[in-house]
Structure 1
């Protein structure tokens, strides 16, 4: 027995609730029959129209906030790639039969993103439940009681919206502090010694999704440097503080350790005494220009990428161990080495660059490989910018991203 073929376009049109599809530019791409019927519009009056041209605020209501609140919700969906459920909204609608006459309407909206394979929002599902009759109940015998209930519900909705706004402002202030802390603790970008390097840090979109990632560059004796990136579990001020402690500890360990594996062992022991450091991932590479070798070790982190001058990409994945604090007992970490040719490029990065929801990590690594191959020959600064442009979603990633590029 074969599965029946489902006409999803017909299903969409006959859905019992109000549903519309919006482009990232907030233009109506489609709306089902219930949406058009309840809104009192024809398809020609909606499809192809900018949302707020089709449904503007009531010009006769100085306190109208429907457009502002809905626009803020849709911006959050585009920025985060996550569903946003709005508080009860008063959003009046102009009568289709009597232009200039506005009908008092109340709605309960939910906005949900549709993502492409790169995690970009390509469509917004705008679902609305009309609750006007529950609030106003026009024609009810006891109209005064109904109006009191209406005013009370509307006031509660406004109060809830104000609380949400204050919480968002507080979160934004914490984000600003966390970003300032991040900038103060990460080393200044630029070359190290006579070698060319580029570093980038991109905070995640969202109020507190920031400050778990770091990068580090350490000048070692001889013609050597140590480079590392890491990712602390969690976000916000606490994650920023843990990040600073671990980055400083790894810098100090790198100066005295005989290799990256030993440096990560020392960091792992130290991480046991730092609350919030559990399951941090990190990868470190020692670059030796005298011997043209890379020695590396990874604590549960994504593998560094070695872009060869000839154009192929090699991932340094032969010395991977669990994240910091993942084992109850101390175990020596593995270390591997590989050679490089003058002109090759080493790229270290955190998961915000390549990982996307509902996507295998190999897909993200393949995107990175294509970007590196496409831009081979670029100087570190130009290569870093090109990688971010190619791999990060236009609206930003929901995870922060650290990137380090060294010309070998």
Structure 2
């Protein structure tokens, strides 16, 4: 005789042992726990059986995920943003702190019925990495850039960061797995008079995870078109943060590590025109007749130092090389002028706040650049 109790009207009882393959797995997990005994308890066996009921193949509707993926990418691209694809290389779990009869909750996307990582969590992971792990060239620049990208830490300052972080969603139906925590020191945690000894029996606490090897899409977009310069470095932070500190819960013990999958972008992100499309060649033909703008020797050398591609590398080159060269008295007035103009333009694009109100080591650098510009009466750079 089945003695399990289900909190539904008798007419609505469902004799189901597993989550139906076409059901919303999140709704099933949160609302339809059916392992209650006659005394309204689950016990360890009931908890494990309930988690095993979630593992009926994969969760998530393939067609729905494909449709959402197309809209997701289209929205991000329309804002001038970029998407990145990552695969979790360790079990991934999020939302353990949510209340649930089995003691450990889980975060589900309400519409998709799949695990996901909220955009606010993605932003928090990247900010934590940038503040604690990223080795910026200069402390003042680092603080300004972090504040610019993520917004101020002080809630009294009503400003937002320059970038928008999107929810990380699964690209394909997700495979789930069951894991177990085994705390040994329950008597000690319950009463500090007890010794935290290894001889206590472990307590098995099962919980749900996303199995390794699942593909997710992450995205970041500039809030305004003129803030796109922050996008590249933030995407690098995202890759480093997900690979080294991870996302979700239990990251301190190795959960939630993700690895970038560059090849996935070619598969899932459609190009505006096919490479074999003759129309594409026709559209490019007029541009091919236009002469390319040649860089001056100074510009070429600066580009080699990372002028347009690596702000951190160029800041180092600016400090140890270009400022001294700008001030060198070699009778090359045009070279000094050109270097000062280029350094001013670079500062205004990559360190705008420091150009307007320099602090720390930037004070001397900005003053030296402005001194040269003033000598040539370049008022537009003041």
Question: Which TM-score applies when normalising by structure 1?
Answer: 0.20
Structure with the bigger RCO (C-alpha within 8 Å, sep 6+) is: 2
Question: Which TM-score applies when normalising by structure 2?
Answer: 0.20
Of Structure 1 and Structure 2, the greater strand share is in 1
Of Structure 1 and Structure 2, the greater helix share is in 2
